[in-house]
Chains A and B, each alone.
Chain A
Amino acid sequence: MLMLGQTIFNGIVIGSLYALVALGLVIVFKSTNRINFAYGQMAMFSTFIGYTLLAKFHLPFMLAFIGALVFSALLAVLVRNILRPAKSESSVIVATLALYMIFTAVAGIIWGWDPVSFPQVFTGEPFSVFGIIMRPNDLFNILLTVILMLMLFLFFKFNLNGIAMRALSQNLVTTSLMGASVNKLFTITWAISGILGGVAGILVAPTSFLDTNLMAVFLLKAFTAAVLGGFTSYPGVVIGGLSLGVMEGLVSSYISTDLMDTFAFVLLIIVLLIRPEGILGKRIRMLGKTSSTEESGEFDSSRPGMSMRKKLAFLIVSIALPFVFQGNTYILYFAVLTGIYMILAIGLDFLVGYTGKISLGHAALLAIGAYSSVILTSKVGFPFWLALLSAGIITGLVGLLLGFAALRLSGLYLAIVTLGLGTAVPQILLKWDEVTNGYTGLHAAIPSIGFFIIDTEFEMYFLVLAIVIVTIIVTNNILRSKIGRAFVALRDSEAGAEAMGVQLAKYQILAFVISAFFAGIAGSLYAHVVGFISPADFSIWNSLLFISMLFIGGVASIPGAMLGAAFMTMVPIFFAGSKSISAILFGGALLIIILFFPSGLAGFYKVGLNIGKRLFSRNSIGLKGPAEEEGTNVATRNK
C-alpha cells in the first residue's frame, strides 16, 4: 500500500514534467498548427545555457534560471521565424527535424558529448508524509508546474491576447477579421512555449544527467501525454501527462523497469488506434475525405522512375569504380555502404516521396532486417541468400502492420508513431538480450552464395551493386505501372484517386510493405557487410539521417534517393572524426533544402542542366512544344 502511494507520488512528480512539455507542444500546435520536433532539443539547449550561467559565471540559481528562460523564449521566437517559409505540414515536420540535428550538434560542440551534472533547485533533506518520502525538490516541481498551468489558464481566460488566441485556434479567418494582430499572437505563443520547455529542461536535468540527449526520450513521452489528452484540450493534456507518469511508475515497480520506456510507445499506439482524439479531446468530425494537399504541386511526377540515360551512366560509373579503386579497400567499403543506403533510400522514397506518408523511424526497420538476417544465419542455419530474402519479408510484414496502423493516422500522428517506433526498437533490442545480445551486439556471418564466399570489399561491392540494380529496375517498373501511378494519384488527391477506382487502403499498405521490404534487404546487407551489429547502429539519430538524406537528395525521384545516400556516406568521410560538423552540415543542408529548394540535389542537377542547355544551344528557339511551357500559366481560377 505504502509502495503504491510512493509510486503514485513519484509518478506525479515526473508526470507534471511530461505535462509541461506537452503543454508547450500543444499551445503552439493549437494556435499555429505546427508541431515542433526540435522542442526537446531546444529545451536541452536552454538548460545548457542555465548550466553555463551557473557553472561558468557563478550566478545565483534563480538568476541563472531566469536567464535560461529568457534565452529559451528568444530561441523559440527565432525558430518560429526560421520555420516561416515552410508551408505544408510535412515540410514543417522535416524542418524541425533539421533544427533537431543542428541544436544537438551545436550543443555537442559547445558543451561536449559527455554528461554533466546539474544541481537541483532545492537540496533539502527528504521528509515523509504518511510514509511517502518526498524531497523538497519534488514538491517544487509539482508546485511550479501547477502555478505555470494556472497562469496559462488565466492567461487564456482573461487576457485579451488570450481570448484572441483561443479564437485563433478555433478559426484563423475570424480572428484576422477581428483585427487582432495575428503575427504578434503567434510570437507570444512561441515564446510561452519556449519558456515551458526551458522550465521542463531545468527541472528534468537534475533527475538524470545533462547531456545532448536530455530531452530526446522525454519528447516522445510528451507526445504520448499530449495524444492521451487529446492534443487540443489543455486540461486533457495535463491529465494525460500526470496519468502517463503514474502508469509508467506502476509498470516499472510492478512489472519490469526495463519496460518503462517502451510502455509509453505501446500506450501511444493503443490510444491512437482506439481513440485518436484522446481522453478529453473532442472528436474531430471529418466529413468526406480531405482533398488535395497544397504540397503536391512541388513534386514533378511527369517522368517517374529513372531515364535510360541515367541508368546507363550509373551502370558505367558503378562498374568502373571498383576497378579504379581496386586496391583501396577504404573507398570500396564506403561505396558498398553507399549502395546499401541507396536501397534503403529508394524504399523510403516509396513512402515519403511517392505516397506522401512520412516515416521517422526507418532505422528501426533496418534493424529488424539486420537482426533477422543475423539470427537466421547464425542460430537457424539459413544460407545467406535465404536469410537476405527472409529479412526482407519479415521486415515487409512489420511494414504491413505499420501500414494498417497508418490508415487511421494523419500526417502528424504518423510522424509521432514512427518516431516512437524508431525510439522503441533500439530500446527493445537493448533489453531483449537473450536473443540480441544487448549492448554487446551480434557478429554476422560472412556472406556466401553456394560455394562462393564473399569476403573481400571488391566482391561485396558487386554483390551490393547487383542488388541495387535489381532494386532500381523493380522500382522503375512499379513506378511506371498501375501501382506507381496509384501511389502518386493518392498523394495528389485522395478523392480523385478513389473516384478513379484506386483503393486507398490497399495502396497505402502496399507502399509501407514495399518500403519495409527494401529496408529489410538493406538491413541484412548492412549486417553481413559490416560484420557486426548493435542497437547503437539503429538509433533514432540514424532514422533522422535517413529522412534527411532523402530530402537532401530529392524526394520522389530515384536519382534523388541515390544522390542522398551518396551524400550521407560521403560527408562523414570528409569530416572524419567530427560527428558534430557533419551533423551541422546535414541539418543545415536539410533546412535550406526543405525551406527553399523542395526538389533537393536532384533538382539542382536539373537547374544546372537547364542552364547548360541554354548556354550551349542559344539558337534553338521555336522548338518548344507545349510540353516545355511548364510553370508559365499556373492558373487556379475558381468560380
Chain B
Amino acid sequence: MALEVAGLIAGYGPVTVLRGVDFRAEPGRITCLMGRNGVGKSTFLKCLMGLVPATEGTIRLDGTALEGLPAHEVPRHGLAYVPQGRRLFGPLTVAENLAIGGLVQGNDRATLAHVLTLFPRLGERLSQVAQTLSGGEQQMLSIARALCLKPKVLLLDEPTEGLQPSMVSLIQDAIRTLTGQGVAVVLVEQRVDAVLRLADSVAFMVAGRVEETRDVKGLAADDPVFRNYVGV
C-alpha cells in the first residue's frame, strides 16, 4: 500500500504553494516531513486529503488514483488525517468524535476497542465534551479519531506541538505501534530529536518542493541537512 506522489502542484486561489512535490510513504514505515514555517507542509497534507485541490500531479495509493477525488471520497480509500491544531468537533463528546472517525468503516466495535487500548484515558472520558479535555487529551482524541477509520495511511500534522514531554512520548509510542500494524505514517514534525527517534526516513521540504529525502539510519542530530532545511 505505498503512497506515491509525483509532481503535485496546488495552492490557494492564485497563490501556488506546492510546486511539484514528489513523495513516497511505505506501509509499516514512518516518513517524516520537515521544513521551515510556511514551506507548505500542511498544504501538502490537505492536498493529499483532497481538501486543497491539486491543479497538477498524481497521488497514487497502491496504484489507485486519488487526485481529483472529492474530499469526502478520499478517506474511503484508507487515508486518515490528524490536522494541525487538532480540529476536534469541540461541542461533541469524545464518543461522538470517535464515531465520526469510524463513519467510513461502519464504526465496528473491535476497531474502537483497539483504539481505546492505545489511549485508555479516552475510554474513561467517552461522554465528556471534547472541548473540555486537556490539551494532551485533545491531541490523543484527534489521533484516536483518525485511527477509528482503520487507516492504511495516517497523516499527522505536528501532533505533539505544545505538549509536555510525558504526553509527547505517550503519543510517539502510539504512533510507533501503528507501524507494526502495517500503517504508512506520514508525520510532519519540527523537532530533530523526535524525527531521529521515530522516523524511518525524512523528507525535507523547501518552497513547495521536497528537496531531499534521507534515511534516518546513520543520520545524526548535528547533520548539516537539519541546519540547511530546518535552520536548527
Q: Do A and B come from one complex?
A: no
